[in-house]
Structure 1
Amino acid sequence: MNKIILIGNLTKDPEASSTQSGVNFTRFTIAVNRPFTNAAGEREADYFDIIAWRQLAERCAKYLFKGSKVGINGSVQRRQYEDRDGIKRTTFDVVADEVEFLTPKSNNGQPHGNSAVGDMQPVYDDDLPF
């Protein structure tokens, strides 16, 4: 079974492109914080290269930007290529099956950037149904 679930933030704006046959794809990288700190008390992150295809790629290219928080559900794919110097390299990509946009939107429908609260309204205990 090859499944991976990640939640992280984009490290830069996504890069949209298409294959020679016209299939759209979008690449982006997310940083996923580790749940612990290192010996110096600093939180470290792991970086994952993500690729989305077809309509999902179009939505990612349109709505995501550097700093966006996303949830990714996908699989890991090994890719080999030859670099400019002719050296064979191996890398691992996460092929996204689902991308959940976790950054809140503002009142005009545009993403807030790094806002954690956005346009949410406070909820008081008396308003809760339980």
Structure 2
Amino acid sequence: MLNKFMVAGRLTADPEIKTVGDNRLCKFTIACERPKRKGEEKAQTDFFDCTAWNRNADVVVDWFGKGDMVTLVGAVHINRYEKDGQKRSAIEVKVEEIHFSGGKKKQENTTPTDNGNSYAGTEDDPLF
């Protein structure tokens, strides 16, 4: 059996990380615009709730913000629960892979020549 999901979209808000036991968790939502059909004035948008754990959570929080484009690969999970006596379900994407799909959003403190893609790391950073 196979449960793989791939989506490219933009984050709807700045992601935040929290600690659950010994693990780090980041929950966020991405918006994915559907191609516009003939006769439609406006394209429709789907919103996907996503969950990233540990290193994937760190990557999302460190590298992405509201409006940034990201491509995710993961598995779709359907969480079933009961609320106020009614059975409900919620669909969630468990993130397995994160891919950079576009430039960072423009920030006010960047210079015009760096296109907002600058990285302000330290000598202790593993990227140096």
Q: TM-score range by the shorter chain?
A: 0.7 to 0.9
Q: Which runs of 5+ in 1 are unaligned?
A: 106-110, 121-130
Tell me, yes or no, if the aligned pair for 2:69 and 2:103 is still in contact at 8 Å.
no
1:89 aligned residue: 88
1:112 aligned residue: 106
Q: Give, in whole Å, the separation in 2 of the partners of 1:81 and 1:94.
A: 17
Cα deviation per residue 1:3-62 (whole Å; 9 max; x = unaligned)?
A: 01100001111131121x221010111111112237442111111011111111011112
Q: Which runs of 5+ in 2 are unaligned?
A: 108-114, 118-128
Cα deviation per residue 1:97-124 (whole Å; 9 max; x = unaligned)?
A: 111122325xxxxx536xxxx479xxxx
Aligned residues: 109
Tell me, yes or no, if the aligned pair for 1:37 and 1:44 is still in contact at 8 Å.
no
State the percentage of identical aligned residues.
32
Tell me, yes or no, if the aligned pair for 1:73 and 1:97 is still in contact at 8 Å.
yes
Task: Report the aligned-residue RMSD.
Answer: 2.2
TM-score (norm 1): 0.72
Q: Does the residue aligned with 1:35 lie in a helix, a strand or coil?
A: coil
Q: Which amino acid aligns with 1:26?
A: C
Q: Give, in whole Å, the separation in 1 of the partners of 2:68 and 2:85.
A: 35
Moved more, 46-55 or 30-39: 30-39
CA displacement at 1:90 relative to structure 2: 1.2
Tell me, yes or no, if the aligned pair for 1:78 and 1:91 is still in contact at 8 Å.
yes
Q: Which amino acid aligns with 2:79?
A: R
